Structures are given as structure tokens and as C-alpha cells.
Amino acid sequence: MIVVMKPKATARQISDVINRVQADGYRAHLSEGEQHTIIGVVGESPTPLREENYSVMEGVEKVMRVSVPYKLASRHFHPADTLVPLNGALMGGQKVLVIAGPCSVESRDQIIELACAVKEAGATALRGGAFKPRTSPYSFQGYGEKALQWLAEARERTGLPVVTEVMDAALVPLVCQYADVLQIGARNMQNFTLLNAAGESQHTILLKRGMSSTVEDLLMSAEYILAQGNKRVMVCERGIRTFEKATRNTFDVNAIPVLKAATHLPVVADPSHAVGLWEYVEPIARSAVAAGADGLIVEVHARPEEAVSDGRQSLKPDRFKAMMEQVRRVAEAVGRTA
């Protein structure tokens, strides 16, 4: 349920509604817009919610039941787009932001070289895996904290904020020491202990859609983070598993406008994992921007043939630069910048 306050509702009236929500055994989440303040009522309680009890309170304009299970992620609760700060820009704003870097951090020199290259091409943030969840236990698993230290040094050299994956709730404090954005990978999208820990950290979160998950599943996972009071959440479409074998996954371009209609959270697209083949990354990136994506996350490697992971889907720096030019043209065609 959500309680929509009148445009001129006083702070006391808003406080009275919040106190009533808490007295009934629920949690109140505040969303303050330009015109209205909306109070989301979430949680479980033996006390039933009665709309009429809230609709008669002073300052209340209307009370609405929210049919979707993801209350805080829904546009019913927060009609305006959420804007997430990233390197002096806003993910979800007019400009399409691009996060770029290697799948895995392989060495200090490698990550600094790539950070400089992607920044020159126009990237907003640097990605790089320090901890790597892999399908095979025998594959490269990442350099851990040493890689985080290299990422932090690359940030010092370039000014690019760091986006890196966290795999376990116990690792959240460590990764927060080095990273600006915590990435929750596709394999951990429904790791609810990790989602709660990431939400409690109050760090910016990039949440990737699971390879066999629905849009609703993705937004329910985002709800876990939002329920911890963390409003800096971005959701990411990275391709889903289908019967098609021509590419690594199937890029669900439908999901982008569907997500933009369903949620106020910024929507990011990952064309690299979506197709798994570098030659298709650029056209998929263009299609994502045309469909309304607020950002892209792209894998870049100076020598893909030597990469310890995902070299086949990584763009070389010159190809990434060319992709950025194409993305800018598409963004301008749909009334945005990049």
C-alpha cells in the first residue's frame, strides 16, 4: 500500500502517517517528489492494513493498493526517475553513461593501461573483476584484494570510479573499502543474504539480471536492496538463457522498455555478456541505447587473445572507441547524449 500526501502536507502530517504505519507494525519508506510525498507501507504484521484508516488522516490525498510485489522499486511508489550519481554525472539522466574495462583484473599494469584507454574513449567508470564467479571451479577465480588495490590505483590515476563484483555477504565490507559501485552478478541475483548486506552498505549497487530470471524476479531482488534504505540501485539486462546457441545468451531488448515502464531505477545494458562475441557487441549496444537504456557496461581488453577470462567477448580499445562514436550517434537520434 502507498499513501499519497497532498502537495501542501506539513511535516507534522507526514510524520503522523509514518507513526501510524509503524504503530500498525509495518515499515514506512518515504519518497519525496516535486509535487507529492509518497509513503510506502511494506512488511508483514498481524494488524491488517485498512485503507480507510489512512485516507481520513490530515494531509492525505489518497491511499492506493500496489498490485505488483515489488513495492519500492515500482513507479507507483516513485513516479519520477531515480538518478544515481556516478563520476559527476547521473545514471538515469539525459546522458547515457558507459562503464568499461576487463572481465578480470590480471595485473597492475593491465588495469591501469585499460583505465587510461577507456577514459580517453569517453567511459564514465571502470569495471574489472577482482573476485570471479565461474562455471568451472578450475577456471581463474580472480586475484581478490590484490586486484582491488590495483583497481583503486587505477582510479587514482584516471579519476574513474570503480565498479567490481562482490560474491559473498562476508566480502561486502572489504570490497566497499576499494570500490565505488558493488556489482551483484547474474549468478548471485537471488542470493538474498548478499542482497541484504549490499543494501545495508549504502554503497551504489549494480544488480544484474539472472540468466534464467524474469523481469519481475530482477525487480524483486532490487526490492531487497531498497528495503534496507539504499536508494542507489541500478538494474542491468545482460542476456538470458534460451534455446538459441548462436550467441552466448539472448539479449532481451524487450526488457529495457519494460523495465523503464515498471521501475524508476536506472536501466543498464551489458552487450558483452549478452552475446559473448565481440563482433556483435557494438550493434547490441546501439540497440540497447535506442530502446532506452540509461547506460552500458562493456568489456574491453588490450590483448583479448591473452585474456584469462572472456577474451572472446572483449573489445580492443580501438573498437571500444569506435563503439562509443556509434553510441553517441544513436543517443543523439533518440534525444539523449553519450
DSSP per-residue letters across 47-84: SPP-HHHHHTSTTEEEEE---SS-STTBTTT--SPP-E
Q: Structural domain of residue 15, as residue ranges?
A: 2-64
Residue 33 is predicted with a pLDDT of: 81
User: Does 141 fall in a domain?
Assistant: yes
246 and 310 both lie in a single domain? yes
Cα–Cα distance for residue pair 214/221, rounded to 1 Å: 11
48 and 104 both lie in a single domain? no
- Which residue in the block uniquely carries the three cell numbers 551504489? 204
Query: Are 126 and 162 in contact, with CB atoms under 8 Å apart?
Result: yes
- Number of domains present in the structure of the chain: 2
149 and 240 both lie in a single domain? yes
User: Does 79 fall in a domain?
Assistant: no
- Which residue in the block uniquely carries the three cell numbers 493498493? 65
User: Does 260 fall in a domain?
Assistant: yes
Residue 131 is predicted with a pLDDT of: 86
Cα–Cα distance for residue pair 232/204, rounded to 1 Å: 5
Cα–Cα distance for residue pair 140/148, rounded to 1 Å: 16
54 and 97 both lie in a single domain? no
User: Does 292 fall in a domain?
Assistant: yes
45 and 189 both lie in a single domain? no
119 and 200 both lie in a single domain? yes
Residue 67 is predicted with a pLDDT of: 85
- H/E stretch holding 158 reads helix 145-158
CATH code for position 248: 3.20.20.70
**For strand 84-86 and strand 89-91, is the pairing parallel, antiparallel, or unpaired?**
antiparallel
37 and 127 both lie in a single domain? no
pTM of the complete model beyond 0.85: yes
- Spans in the chain with pLDDT lower than 70: 132-141
123 and 218 both lie in a single domain? yes
**For strand 2-5 and strand 60-64, is the pairing parallel, antiparallel, or unpaired?**
antiparallel
Q: Cell digits for 208?
A: 544484474
Residue 135 is predicted with a pLDDT of: 62
Residue 188 is predicted with a pLDDT of: 96
- H/E stretch holding 268 reads strand 267-269
